[in-house]
Structures are given as structure tokens and as C-alpha cells.
Amino acid sequence: MFGVHGTGDTSGYGRLERPVSLPERTVRPYGGWFDELVDALEASLAEVGVSAADALDVVVFRNELTLHVEREYLPAVAGRLRDEQDLRFELCLGVSGVHYPDSPGRELHAVYALMSITHNRRVRVEVSVPDSDPHIPSLFATYPTTDWHERETYDFFGIVFDGHPALTRIQMPDDWNGHPGRKDYPLGGIPVEYKGARIAPPDQRRGYH
């Protein structure tokens, strides 16, 4: 009736696999206002004794600027992005978690979207950590709006934001086992807390014969 072919799986899963390749570091010139921003950030970091070469990598991909920051330098970089007059990224729009299980040593990523209301610009700040040591400094002191976002990223990905004033789960129960946002978290075939139900794996949930 609906033109279904093959398994009839409508879950959106269907055992499809898509390889993920992370973009490499970009070399200058970056183009547009990106060079101006990176120059201002490098100069501002130097004023507080931080080498930009040690602290971050610049990636331009699909005309978007991402600053890949080493976790120990995250508070310094965020502080300069917020306070430097030529940067003025006053607002953090949110924190997202990403899980790359096939990327050894950098399986977990925290991604911050920053907005400059003064200059009408956006930049992405990304930090990667190993699954074996999932600690990142909290940016709550710099951007208080990250409060619930860091809690959600901890809840679903298990990234621990050191220095957060109340890092507890925000959606899942406090005693929940595991972090549902990770790619290795089961999508089905496991018991559910309520009424002893069991959710079938995605490719077995529906079938048309």
C-alpha cells in the first residue's frame, strides 16, 4: 500500500552504517572574517601567557569555524572569547555531546556554540577527551547558561564537567545505568524499568508481509 520494499523496517535504522571522517586542521588563509578572529584570539591569549599553538587547532569546514581546544586551556580560551573587545562572544547557546567510539583517545567530544551579539558572529568551540578520562573543565563560571546543558551532556554522554556546581542527571533517573547518547548504548532488546516490558531491536519492531 505504501510502496514498502525489502524488510519494511520503518525505524530509521535498518542496519545502515555510515563512515565518519573528522575534518583535519585547516591552514591559513581561513577566509572571510575567520583570520581576523583567530588573530585577535591568539594575541589575547598571549597577553595571559597562553600559546595558541598549544591551546587550539583551527578547522574550517562547510564555511563554519571550529576551534578545537585542549581541555586544560578551555577556561582561558572561553574567557578571552567572551571578554576581548575584538571578539566579544557574550553568549553560549548550548553544549552538545558527541561520541566517536572508533576514534581512540578522543572518543567523547563536548561542543559549545558561541554567539557574539556585538559583532553578529558565531563560532564553535570543541573539546575532545578519551573515554577512559572523560573530564572537561566546566564553563559555568564563564557562561552560566551552560548549567543545564552541561548536566544534560553528562547525563547522556558521561562527560564529567569539573567545577560544575551541581553535576547531576537532568532527564534520566539518578540511578540510571549508562549514558543513552553514546553510540554503544543499546537501541533495543533490553528490559525496560516499567512493567517488565522489553523493547525489540529497531530492525524487528515493524514488518510488513
Angle at CA 43, nearest 5°, toward 38 and 44?
95
Q: What is the pLDDT of residue 97?
A: 97
Domain positions in the chain = 34-176
Angle between helices 34-47 and 74-83 (to 10 degrees): 110
Residues with Cβ < 8 Å from 23, sequence gap 6 or more? 59, 61
The one-digit pLDDT tens for each residue of the chain (209 residues) are 455 566 555 555 555 566 777 888 999 999 999 999 999 999 999 999 999 999 999 999 999 999 999 999 999 999 999 999 999 999 999 999 999 998 999 999 999 999 999 999 999 999 999 999 999 999 999 999 999 999 999 999 999 999 999 999 999 888 888 899 998 887 766 666 556 667 777 667 665 54
Q: In the CATH scheme, what architecture does the domain 34-176 have? A: 2-Layer Sandwich (3.30)
| Sign, Cα dihedral of 79, 84, 87, 91 | positive
Q: What does pTM read for this prediction?
A: 0.83
Count helices and strands in the chain by DSSP H and E runs: 4, 7
3-state secondary structure of 48: coil
Name the nearest CA neighbour of 98 among 167, 183, 186: 183
**Cβ atoms 103, 22 nearer than 8 A:** yes
Beta-carbon contacts of residue 182 (< 8 Å; ≥ 6 apart): 99, 101, 156, 157, 158
Q: Which residue from 188, 190, 191, 192 is spatially nearest to 203, judged by alpha carbons?
A: 188
User: What DSSP element (H or E) covers 83?
Assistant: helix 74-83
Verify cis geometry, omega within 30 degrees of 0, for the bond prior to 29: yes
> Three cell numbers at 145?
547558561
Contact, 133 vs 105, CB < 8 A? no
